[in-house]
Amino acid sequence: MEDVLRPIYQERASQKNTLGILLIEKKKPVSPVTDNFDYILLVIVQDAMQPWYVKHYEYHNKNAAMHIVDEKQLLYWIDTSSYRRAVEWVINGKVVFDRNEYVAKLKDDLRTFPKEKRELKKAIEFAKLIRSYRESKYFFDSQQYMDAFNTMIYCLHYLARLAVIEKGFHPEVTVWNQVKQIEPEIYKLQQELSSSSETLDKRVELMLLAVEFAINSRTLNCSQHLIDIMKEKDEACTYGELMVHPQIQPYYLDLGALLEHLVEKEVIQAVQVDTKGDDIYHRKYMYLNK
């Protein structure tokens, strides 16, 4: 089918705003990376009217999907892991068109994984980890053990992704294959949660202890992105100011859980500011420069 697709992507390659085109082929009968399409065409463009446009094709019992993606949208997906397939498409895709080595540079950027992008991704996954951990603990304390177990699965998933990022790699769709190779201790936690002979409540209880330790040992390192933003101001920030900060947008939904954790660990300080009411204060946040 690649020959059939060639005229389609060649037409796109002739357009001036096309930066690069990659072809991704389904390797197994069930392929989450390609949404089970036989082929994916990723067309990266500049200044598109739509940030993301998709077309589906079929030929002799084969099918393909063409994703026309504005480069800003693609970079946002890559930086925030909000559409994880896109990272694998760029890393593993076959380059069929590359204007001024745009795709080659993008692939190289993904391989080197610059520090500032790692810090953002660590903050995203860490904030999700904290929120999921607190939910699991709440369910456990309420004796809702099945809900606690289900939420703990998410905890370990975020912890696994965090471990991969810390090692300098982008988490893939099949993240546990990566973790098994580079962070076997976390892989072992997942095995213990899913297949231990202990009762369900005991398994969750043990995982809560392990995840709490993992969170505490990573607090400073994985919060550096937020800390650096707070250090830019000499005064305390309101929650609203932090929530709308452009660099915090990728994890603003989990910002509250992250801030509360940092206050509890005395990494940042909650500052009271007078209001017009008696005994009620605005709450602001400031980094404690130790």
pLDDT digits (tens, 9 = 90+) for 31-58: 989 999 999 999 999 999 999 999 999 9
pLDDT at res. 279:
81
Name which of 40, 35, 120 is nearest 75 in CA terms: 120
| Average pLDDT of the segment spanning 155-163 | 96
* pLDDT above 60 (res 90): yes
Task: Tell me the percentage of the chain whose pLDDT exceeds 90.
Answer: 82
Q: Are residues 102 and 138 in the same domain?
A: no
Confidence of residue 290 (pLDDT cuts 50, 70, 90): low
**Domain end call among 96, 112, 128:** 112
Confidence of residue 205 (pLDDT cuts 50, 70, 90): very high
Q: Are residues 166 and 225 in the same domain?
A: yes
d(CA 161, CA 153): 12
Q: Are residues 64 and 9 in the same domain?
A: yes
* pLDDT above 90 (res 103): yes
Please, what is the average pLDDT of the chain? 93
For residue 283, report the phi and psi dihedrals to the nearest 5 degrees: -110, 125
Contact by Cβ (8 Å): 139, 147: yes
Q: Are residues 106 and 124 in the same domain?
A: no
d(CA 272, CA 282): 6
* pLDDT above 80 (res 173): no
For residue 140, report the phi and psi dihedrals to the nearest 5 degrees: -65, -45
* pLDDT above 90 (res 4): no
The CATH code of the domain that includes 18 is 3.30.460.10
Residue 259: which H helix or E strand, with range? Answer: helix 255-264
Confidence of residue 277 (pLDDT cuts 50, 70, 90): confident
Sequence-separated (6 or more) residues with CB below 8 Å from residue 74 = 44, 86, 90
Length of the chain in residues, anyone?
Answer: 290
| Average pLDDT of the segment spanning 169-179 | 87
For the chain, how many structural domains are there in total?
Answer: 2
**Domain end call among 89, 112, 135:** 112
Q: Are residues 276 and 199 in the same domain?
A: yes
When computed from its CA atoms, the radius of gyration of the chain, rounded to whole angstroms, is 22
pLDDT at res. 237:
92
Question: CB under 8 Å, gap of 24 or more: what pairs does 108-117 form?
Answer: 110/78, 110/170, 113/168, 113/169, 113/170, 117/79
Domain region containing 210 = 115-287
Does the pTM surpass 0.85? The reply is yes
**Domain end call among 67, 94, 112:** 112
Q: Are residues 71 and 119 in the same domain?
A: no
Give ∠ CA 95-100-106 in degrees, rounded to 5. 55
Contact by Cβ (8 Å): 273, 281: yes
